[in-house]
Chains A and B, each alone.
Chain A
Amino acid sequence: MPELGRAALVVCLGLALYALFAGGFAAFTRRRRLAVSAQNALIAAFGAAAVASGVLLSALLRNDFSFQYVADHTSIELPTAYTISAFWGGQEGSLLLWLLVLTGFSATAVALNRRVGRDLLAWAVPVLGLVAVFFSFMLVAVSSPFATQAAPPDGAGLNPSLQNPYMMVHPPLLYLGFVGLTVPFAFAMGALLARRSDEAWIVSTRRWTLAAWTFLGVGQLLGAHWAYVEVGWGGYYAWDPVENAALMPWLAATAFLHSVMIQEKRGMLKVWNVLLVVGAFALALFGTFLTRSGIVSSIHSFTESSIGAWFLGFIVLVLAGSLFLVLTRLPLLRAKTRLESLVSREATFLYNNLLLVALCLTILWGVVFPILSEAVRGEQITVGAPYYNFFLKAFGLPLLLLMGIGPLIAWRRASLRSLGRSFIWPAGAALVAGATLLAFGAGSSPAGLIAYTFAAFVLGSIVYEFVRGTRARRALGGGSWLSAFNGLVARNRRRYGGYVVHASIVLLAIGVTGSSAYDTVRQQKLRPGETMAVRDYRLTYRDLEVRQGTNAEELRAHLDVERDGKSLGSIQAGKNDYRAEDQVSNEVGIRSDKLTLEDLFVIAEQVEPTSDQAIHFRVLVKPLVNLIWIAGLVFLAGALVAMWPSLAEQRRLAERYRELRAPARA
């Protein structure tokens, strides 16, 4: 069976090479049948990758420990769901997932663009082929999931902290995002290679970018939620390089989504857009590289496995090739128009882009700095959370404000008077909110207060936009408010879907602000019967229970929770001792308040090995933290609205590009 997997990977590599070389040759010499043949090769590559994946999956499900990969990442008692998730639990399997998704997306892109964008597709195919060559080569020659061994009686099992529903979906979603960015990149390069200066590549890949960006966003939120409930230190984001690995391409993609709108509207920023899409893709590769090699923990672990060097080489190749293409096609990318005013929607999009890219680069610097300093000085100098938090505030707060300003400003030029009129309601809402919060003591954190005030402003501007639009539409066509609202959104899905996404980001900002700037932490050692007070909660430690779970010894402290004299039930916190894997995990107790959206977060930090069962507890009250998870749902809803296909638009765009075929020559 493993031979079938290896053979399938070799076939995939061969097909990818064919797509690269034959496809490139076909595009260059304008041969139609060869171009179609190369496209078919990409589709067939998906088939080969699927076969290889099927082999690995069946080996996992059969607990075939003669496969080294299966033995390393699963065990007999591992539940089936987690056995499946072990597919991407290790390095080789995750590369195979990359390849599978990549070839799948490439095949889909080919199928969708076969009729309409043939000439563009002809050049995009070799680029997609190139990326497929890299990954299939890695799987064939460097890191194969089909290595075999004498089958041991049982496997090593999966890290217990990964045995969690969130950890099952988090990696695949991120992969869909990372790989999804390959398609816009390929089409952008294709447009450059074909020497086209029109917007076809943007139009063809708009939904790809949006979908990839949504996957990345949702995937990251799920990861943050896992960190919050599973790892249990009381936070959800530690600015770990592996976490930043997904944040950076997401920020670049966010910038790209906005600047593309400027290009469509005004024909400006063409070079910037191409550089952004290259950057987003390169960061996606870099992110994959970061989570694969141990490079950030130490440069020495980097040299232990060669996979890091290959990744780095490929990233350099991609960057160098793209830059070369951009430089040689620079005349094609000349802007047609100029920025007319620094106070216009184009300008706010530009500022938004600059802030996003600045934030992305500072995070990149923070990730790369320890590696550089070790390479240069022999000493790794790490930057911690304070560095990242500083820049998050420095760039994030203005970004938050811009989210509110942008929708209120008109294109091209906005006079201060019309601006003033548009700002009145949202600004008023913000001031009221700010003053109220200040009265309630939010002044304890100036940055928090500013964040809340800006958030109120943005929410106010979004509501105002919806109200204005619905009112105008109703004035035109009559009907109820609801039908006017539906009609408004249906006719302008991108804009109003975008507003909903903005609202979700604001909710996220409020949740993050509340739970980090206004949280409370208390540490106390309690013996059974003793009570500790945190904010307006009182926790009484009742007893310590020791029980045997399925694969761990579970220690749970039971506490009674009370607030303002009223009992709120009980909460458990403790640890799980996984004997087989020799690991201890933190099992925190969380009580979410449905009304205030705050969490009472109880960690049993240290259990004294003495007879009195005293425990060091660490209790946090995190206001508004559940808003973060709610924001994720709103984000998804908004993105779906924005992505929703519109028949009218499809027809129009198809017709625009079909005009190409019309034999208008005399």
Chain B
Amino acid sequence: MTAFAVGLAALLAVACVIAVALPFLREPEATDDRLAEPDELDRRRLELAEERDRVLADLKELEFDHRTGKVSDEDYRALVGPLRARAASALRALEPRAQASNLPRSAAMSEPFPAPAPAPEPFPQPDEGDPPQPPTIPDPEPPPEPFPPPDEGEPGVSRNIR
């Protein structure tokens, strides 16, 4: 075995030992050696966050499917109400105090929503990537529809639940 090979082998061995020992070398006495793990509260929050994202994405996709004609008017009317209710409760479950102060009272009581008029969605949309925002009061006149087609799993979308 050539000297080069021996040297390389030694180097490899040393490098591996260092790599493995690195965390211990960096923190010989770690104050907190605990591996972060989601506790019950975290898991619950994660579940709720996933549920919220899922419902909001469903809503967005429903709107888009309706717009493109995949979902008929009756189907849309039948589906959108319960979906909005679920969205409201999902948002509320995640940030109960923030919600209660901003939502109109009817939504906070999650009454069954009247079927919306056949005209499409009246609320402005944030861009994708914005974190979930509390719902805002809508404009009085029907604004134009600026919202983009749904992305897969669109995040928090501001919704006014009327």
Contact = CB atoms under 8 A, between A and B. Distances in A.
A–B direct touch in complex (beta carbons closer than 8 A): yes
Interface in B143-161: 145-153, 155
Contacts of B42: 660
Given A31-B33, A469-B68, A18 B20 contact: yes
Contacts of A200: 46
A40 B68 contact: no
Nearest to B11: A51
Contacts of B32: 32
A471 B27 contact: no
Interface string A159-185: 000000000000000000000000000
Contacts of A492: 149-152
Contact of A657 (B46, B62, B75): B46
Given A265-B54, A492-B150, A660 B38 contact: yes
Interface stretch (B2-10, B98-106, B107-115, B133-141): B2-10
A531 interface: no
A119 B1 contact: no
B142 interface: no
A477 B148 CA distance: 8
A476 B153 contact: no
A491 B16 contact: no
A353 to B, nearest CB: 19
Nearest to B147: A476
B9 A652 contact: no
A432 B61 CA distance: 32
A524 interface: no
Contacts of B151: 491-492, 646, 648-649
Contact of B68 (A14, A33, A471): A471
Contact of B38 (A4, A119, A468): A119
A487 interface: yes
A163 to B, nearest CB: 31
Interface in A13-35: 14-15, 18, 26-27, 30-35
A284 to B, nearest CB: 27
A192 to B, nearest CB: 15
B68 A468 contact: yes
A491 B53 contact: no
Interface in B19-44: 19-24, 27, 30, 32-38, 41-43
A197 B19 contact: no
B60 to A, nearest CB: 11
A282 interface: no
Contacts of B37: 30, 119, 194
B131 interface: yes
B35 A26 contact: yes
A32 B30 contact: yes
Interface in A27-48: 27, 30-37, 40-41, 43-44, 47-48
Interface residues of A, number: 79
Interface string A631-666: 000000000000000111101100111011100110
Interface in A113-170: 118-119, 122
A267 B35 CA distance: 28
Contacts of B64: 472
A3 B35 CA distance: 39
A40 B47 contact: no
B152 A417 contact: no
Contacts of A487: 148
A11 interface: yes
Interface in B69-125: 69-72, 74-75, 79
A652 B155 contact: yes
A422 interface: yes
B61 to A, nearest CB: 7
- Majority SS of interface residues in chain B? helix
Interface string A414-429: 1101100110000000
Given A32-B34, A417-B72, A44 B152 contact: no
B75 A413 contact: yes
Nearest to B42: A660
Contacts of B53: 652, 656
Contacts of A477: 146, 148
Given A32-B32, A37-B21, A265-B54, A44 B150 contact: no
Contacts of B153: 264, 649, 652
A664 B5 contact: no
A7 B128 contact: no
Q: Which of A18, A31, A487, A488 has the most CB of B within 10 A?
A: A31
Contact of A47 (B2, B12, B50): B12
A415 B42 CA distance: 39
A118 B22 contact: no
A473 B16 contact: no
A40 B19 contact: yes
A51 B75 CA distance: 62
Contacts of B5: 1, 3-4
A472 B69 CA distance: 9
Contacts of B49: 656, 659
Contact of B72 (A15, A415, A495, A665): A415
Given A44-B15, A412-B79, A415-B75, A421 B69 contact: yes
A37 B33 contact: no
Q: Which of B41, B45, B58, B71 has the most CB of A within 10 A?
A: B71
B16 to A, nearest CB: 4
A581 interface: no
A15 to B, nearest CB: 6
A73 interface: no
Nearest to A45: B16
Given A33-B23, A33-B24, A491-B149, A652 B36 contact: no
B136 to A, nearest CB: 20
A44 B129 contact: no
Interface of B: 1-2, 5-6, 8-9, 12-13, 15-16, 19-24, 27, 30, 32-38, 41-43, 45-47, 49-50, 53-54, 57-58, 61-62, 64-65, 67-72, 74-75, 79, 127-129, 131, 145-153, 155
The 4 closest A-B pairs by CB, nearest first: A648-B129, A418-B72, A33-B23, A648-B128
16 contacts: A7-B13, A8-B9, A11-B12, A14-B16, A15-B16, A27-B35, A37-B22, A41-B16, A47-B19, A411-B58, A418-B70, A418-B71, A418-B72, A469-B68, A491-B148, A655-B131
Given A33-B23, A472-B68, 7 more contacts: A40-B22, A418-B70, A473-B149, A475-B67, A647-B129, A656-B53, A659-B49
